[in-house]
Amino acid sequence: MDTVFESKKLYAVIIAFIFVATSLITFSVIHRHYDVELKNRITENRLTANLLSRLIYEHQMAAIGILESHASHPSFVEAVQKKDFNQTLSHLKSLTKRHSEIDVLFITDQYGTLWADYPVDKTAYGTNLAFRDWYKGVSKNWRPYISPIYRRIVLEKGLAVAISVPVFDRKGTVIGILSSGQRTSFLATFINESIVDPKKNITLLDQEGNIIFSNALPYGETITKYPDVRVQEKAVTGVSIDMEIADARNKKKVSYVSIAPIKRIGWSVIVGLEKDTILQSLYGHFIRFAVMGFIIFLFLTVSVLYFRREYKYHKTKELQASEKKYRTLFNESMDGICLADAETGLIVDCNEALAALVCRERTELIGQPQAILHPPQDIQEGFSTTFRQHLLNKHGQVLETQVITRTGDTRDVEIKANVVVLGGRKLLQGVFHDISEHKKAEEAKRKLNEELEQLVRERTMQLEATNKELEAFAYSISHDLRAPIRSIEGFSQILLEDYQDKLDDTAKSYLDRVRKATQHMENLIEGLQKLSLVTRSELLYRSVDLSTMVRKIFEKLQQDNPDRTVDVIIQEGIFASGDSSLLQDALENLVHNAWKFTSREARPRIEFGTIVKEGKTVCFIKDNGVGFDMVYANKLFGAFQRLHSSREFPGTGIGLATVQRIINRHGGRIWAEAEVEKGATFYFTLPGLEVSRQS
């Protein structure tokens, strides 16, 4: 080995390997740094696009809010209804003074005919603008709308977008449209003030792919489409994506762009950065990495040559220190250690711990075959050779066996076998660890586990028998109760039909009350049966579309109650893992309660959706009904517990108890928050609850 490490040829090969390795590592680091920088820049693009998208959305929503607020002002509504030009103009002038960001305001009737604007330009009065996109958008469902870019026909006649809101009279009839013409130059100023990095290319597109603003593309005062068709298609369809694109004029010029749609408006923000810009910022890093790689190569080369000179000296010192340390550990170890000749299997040396383990003297063991340590069921012809080869093959592993003492007793031990070289001699080292007490403890543990398993089986059988008895008892009670109830209802019906000429109005009223009471009792029994089934039925887990399930429940309620109009809001794409049938029952109870307790509201509103509480997605069903006092919230989910009288709101008082058991069986939790006459919100969690990204 000394000759090998002193060979010049070996060191030449090592130095060549170091050169290749450092070159590859340097290139890999440079490439990796470029990849990381590229990902960071793309992430910055995405964050900038999302930020601008949010800022523009909030600004436009604020503009809509201002217009909506003014459009609902009674005096303004009266002026529009009478088409009072002077009064309307006064309102428009007041609105622009209070909100400096508003550029141009104009009013049309419900059919799109222009009759007033501010600043005043009467040249287009009487013109029907129903062909404009902003009119089509707002008249589609008479809700606020922000249009694509268009060319104005009044004042400066430049490019603008329209923000339009309908004007309703007191009866809710549309009497006109209030619009604000927002110049593209205003949006350009707004975006420029929001840009943090001037090197980024920022473009704002409308819902048709036209450029509203861009600091990278020429568009001027003409309506211009975005030049890259792929990017334009993604933006128009509202896709949020990162893309690599080539310049329309120079295909070798590559940029990375991020598209962020502006929700509810249809616009998109595109943020891009050229590849050359990224590379220019990294040239200094590339040079630094190359220099560092060369320095590392020189350092390693010098280190290898130094190692050649110092090798023999350090090797000698290390061997001496290692042998001294080994001898100290060998003698002082608490575990027994045995050294045996790898060829003959004879014990060369052992420590006092091994001698004590087998109740023998140390000198008595040295020179004996290794088989002396093992029980007579192990001593057989060829044992020494077989066992020795086994330990050699299992080098470094722990083996479990037994040793025999002088008195013939056996002890359980773990042996870790290693091959060592001492004084040029190959030896087999075995470290013996006594695990007798551990084995006894394991056996006691095994017996205890068997006893516990038997006890669990017995308890399970007893529980199953008890459940079957309870199920039979519940069925019997239900059957026995229904028979007399049906008799009472039947005889009451007979009295009303066959003896109505002999009964006065008071008697008939009493019989009606008896029948209603029996019907209520029938509903209570049916509710109790459902509550019992919730506890006993087997859960069949699968993915359940909660949004679709809630929508169908509302559709059925609307069909059964055509005279009611309820504002229903359902968040799309809510899924959970659970039993479809039981979750249907739970949602029906919650939705029916919301429907029932909003029956007195002039404008009832029910919402189903999700929120995040303490980092966890939570479902909720919210209404603006009668609500309840939170002092009694602890009674809400108890069977037969009612917070409102049955005369006000009919029911069995079992529905919410059933809902709680269903949610609990799924491993979820349900609770409620409410205020008297201000509605109630029921929250619940379920396993696998998530909102689909496609929603």
Identify the pLDDT of residue 379: 43
Contact indicator for 594, 666 with CB cutoff of 8 Å: no
- pLDDT category of residue 1 using cuts at 50, 70 and 90: very low
Look up the CATH superfamily of 539-691.
Answer: Histidine kinase-like ATPase, C-terminal domain (3.30.565.10)
What distances in angstroms separate CA 375 from CA 350, 357, 412, 564, one per listed residue? 19, 14, 11, 91
Fold classified for 72-186: Beta-Lactamase (3.30.450)
Q: Are 234 and 245 in contact (CB under 8 A)?
A: no
342-364 residue pLDDT tens: 777 788 788 888 777 778 888 87
CATH superfamily of 187-280: PAS domain (3.30.450.20)
Q: What whole-number distance in Å separates Cα of residue 124 and Cα of residue 143?
A: 25
Q: pLDDT tens digits, residue range 578-610?
A: 998 889 989 998 999 899 889 889 899 999 999
Q: Which residues, including other chains, have CB under 8 Å from residue 614's CB and lie 6 or more apart?
A: none
Higher-pLDDT residue of 509, 87: 87
Question: Which residues are 256's β-sheet partners?
Answer: 244, 273
* DSSP letters for 35-79: HHHHHHHHHHHHHHHHHHHHHHHHHHHHHHHHHHHHHT-HHHHHH
Instruction: Pinpoint the alpha helices (H) of 503-614.
Output: 505-536, 546-560, 580-597
The structure tokens listed for 647 are: 């005369």
DSSP state of 102: -
pLDDT attached to residue 507: 75
The answer to whether 556 touches 601, Cβ cutoff 8 Å, is: no
Question: What are the structure tokens assigned to 269, written together?
Answer: 């923000």
Q: Which tokens in the block code for residue 637?
A: 């989910």
For residue 622, what pLDDT band results from cuts at 50, 70 and 90?
very high
In three-state secondary structure terms, 17 is helix
Long-range contacts of 73-79 (CB under 8 A, 24+ apart): 76/167, 77/167, 77/168, 77/169, 77/170, 77/175
Q: What residues does 670 pair with on adjacent strands?
A: 684
* Residue 678 backbone dihedrals phi, psi, to 5 degrees: -125, 15
Evaluate whether 659 touches 586 at the Cβ level (below 8 Å). yes
Per-residue pLDDT at 115: 94
Residue 533 in this model has a pLDDT that exceeds 70: no
Pairing of strands 605-613, 567-570: parallel
Please, is 329 exposed, middle or buried when counting C-beta atoms within 10 Å of its C-beta (0-12, 13-18, 19+)? exposed
pLDDT 10s digits, 149-165: 888 776 667 788 889 99
Task: Report yes or no: 296 and 22 within 8 Å, Cβ to Cβ.
Answer: yes
Q: Which CATH superfamily is domain 333-432 in?
A: PAS domain (3.30.450.20)
Q: What is the pLDDT of residue 471?
A: 58
Cis status of the peptide bond prior to 119, with omega within 30 of 0: yes
For residue range 12-24, what is the model confidence (pLDDT) as tens digits? 888 888 888 888 8
Q: pLDDT band at residue 431, thresholds of 50, 70 and 90? A: confident
Of 389-403, 426-440, 559-573, the one with minimum mean pLDDT is: 389-403
| Higher per-residue confidence, 556 vs 189 | 556
